[in-house]
Amino acid sequence: MAEVLVLVDHVEGEIKKTTYELLTAARALGEPSAVVVGAAGTAGKLADGLSAHGAEKIYVAEHDSTDHLTPEVTVLESLIGSASPAAVLISASADGKEVAGRLAVRTNSGLLGDVVGVSADGVSHSVFGGAYTAEAKSNTEHPVITVRPGSIDIEENAGAGAQESVEVPAANSPQATVTSREPITGGDRPELTEATVVVSGGRGVGSADDFSVVEGLADALGAAVGASRAAVDSGYYPPQFQVGQTGKTVSPQLYIALGISGAIQHRAGMQTSKTIIAVNKDDEAPIFEIADYGIVGDLFTVAPQLQEHVAAR
Ligand code: FAD
């Protein structure tokens, strides 16, 4: 059976949940091989989780080079040459999209972006800002596929996890040097694209101070906090928490939208959430078209009530 390369998404020795989703998706296409690119000692911390989720092989590319902005590209390029995989699966995160685009150009591969389903017959992916789901197939060998975090249900299925060291090819005339990497986190809250529950606030929240209402409900639920672009542009919440077409794409089990109208550009980043609850004082707000549960009311009344009920459970 052909190998399917899965680029491992990790931060400081912790595997991101999206990697397990990629390993699950890979099984529809062949035998999953995880590719770990990171500093020395990274693979040792990740190997158990990777094999428990189906990695038959783990390619280990550990390096201390600061000449590479995206060493993942050269490592995957070289593995495509040696392993001739059926496909390469990468998380559709901001970093993952960059790696995928560069890799597809360098290897002349088809690129299937923002995929929400993978099968032997092809992929389904989200297009036109999430307004449509399209079925697609690549005409090239080893297509590069980016998978939207949260869109695949993780299955545990042990793999052999045999480790194999691979070289990180030297950067070709590096024009830039990496001086440091600072992961963006939400403090003690879960990372936005990884969270099972996301509570987002929009312009309806009205001020940066009042975002404490959004944070309060999020903390009661153990959720990440998100924001609409209008909330970000108004300075209510930092830009790294923006959800939508020009922000992050999330697909949690539960998404709660507080004071968000539901513009197409916001929906593009959250409408594949499994359950959507919207709180809006306008009963004609478009967010209600995609909400599983809608509450017409003032968020400053409803959110604290929800918080109280959650805390009491
Ligand atoms: P509004 O549309 O102003 O809605 C506020 C809502 O709050 C209203 O429905 C109102 O009824 C409700 N409300 C007010 N007070 C209360 C209250 N007390 N209680 C309950 N409800 C209340 N937007 C994104 O979000 N993410 C993106 O990534 C993004 N990318 C974009 C890219 C482009 C190229 C463009 C053109 C736009 C993009 N936008 C994006 C902007 C998008 O079009 C909308 O302007 C934005 O999503 C609106 O944010 P909002 O719903 O918070 O604000």
- What is the mean pLDDT of the segment spanning 258-278? 95
- Residues 264, 129 contacting (CB under 8 angstroms): yes
Query: Which residues sit in the known binding site for FAD?
Result: 203, 228-229, 242-246, 259-266, 280
pLDDT tens digits for range 158-206: 999 999 999 888 777 777 777 877 766 667 899 898 899 999 999 999 9
Number of Cα atoms under 13 Å in the Cβ half of residue 5: 29
- Per DSSP bridges, beta strands 10-11 and 224-227 are unpaired
Is the ipTM reported for this complex over the cut 0.85?
yes
**For residue 130, is pLDDT > 70?**
no
As a whole-number percent, the residues of the chain with pLDDT over 90 amount to: 75
Amino acid 94: pLDDT: 85
In Å, how far are 46, 64, 168, 209, 214 from 236, measured between CA atoms? 37, 39, 42, 8, 11
| Spacing, Cα 201 to ligand 1 middle (Å) | 9
Q: Please give the Cα distance from 33 to 237 (Å, whole number).
A: 39
Question: Tokens 């600072």 — which residue?
Answer: 182
Which residues have any ligand 1 atom within 6 Å of their CB? Answer: 202-204, 228-231, 242-247, 259-261, 263, 265-266, 269, 279-282, 285, 298-300
pLDDT tens digits for range 57-97: 999 999 877 667 788 999 999 999 999 999 999 999 888 99
pLDDT tens digits for range 21-62: 999 999 999 999 999 999 888 988 999 999 999 999 999 999
| Spacing, Cα 232 to ligand 1 middle (Å) | 10
Q: Using alpha carbons, select from 307, 280, 284, 285 the residue that is nearest to residue 296.
A: 280
- Residues 110, 139 contacting (CB under 8 angstroms): yes
Tally of CB atoms within 10 A around 153: 9
Mutate to test the pocket of ligand 1, among 249, 264, 265, 296 (most ligand atoms within 8 A of CB): 265
Looking from the CA of residue 246, the nearest atom of ligand 1 is 28
The mean pLDDT of the chain is 92
Q: Please give the Cα distance from 242 to 238 (Å, whole number).
A: 8
**Exposed e or buried b for every residue in 188-201, given b needs 16+ CB within 10 A?**
ebbbbbbbebbbbb
